[in-house]
Amino acid sequence: MAVRDDVMGMLRADHAQVKELFAAYEAAPDWAARWQIAVQACTALEIHSELEAMVFYPAFDLHTTPWGRALVDASIQDHGLMAA
């Protein structure tokens, strides 16, 4: 249970961090600042994607319905498009 809570906490923190980075990007005063924020956002999204792919999706897949498995499959495909 502790590992599950840690992973869920990490995913929630990643969501919050990316939202903050997107807001900072919009408020950035110049191109250089936006570039630095974009690099941080990409790194955070990569970490988030890896957590989902390696921990969350496999665990969810074991304990879900066929509909849930289809949702996981669609999410994995979406992540593949983002990584391309």
- Give the per-residue pLDDT at 50: 83
Q: Domain 2-83 classified CATH 1.10.287?
A: no
Q: Are 80 and 61 in contact (CB under 8 A)?
A: no
In the chain, where the domains are located: 2-83
9-46: pLDDT as tens digits: 888 888 899 899 999 999 999 999 999 999 999 998 88
Output the CA–CA distances (angstroms, integers) from residue 81 to 20, 46, 66, in the order listed: 23, 13, 23
The percentage of the chain sitting over the pLDDT mark of 90, rounded to a whole number, equals 27
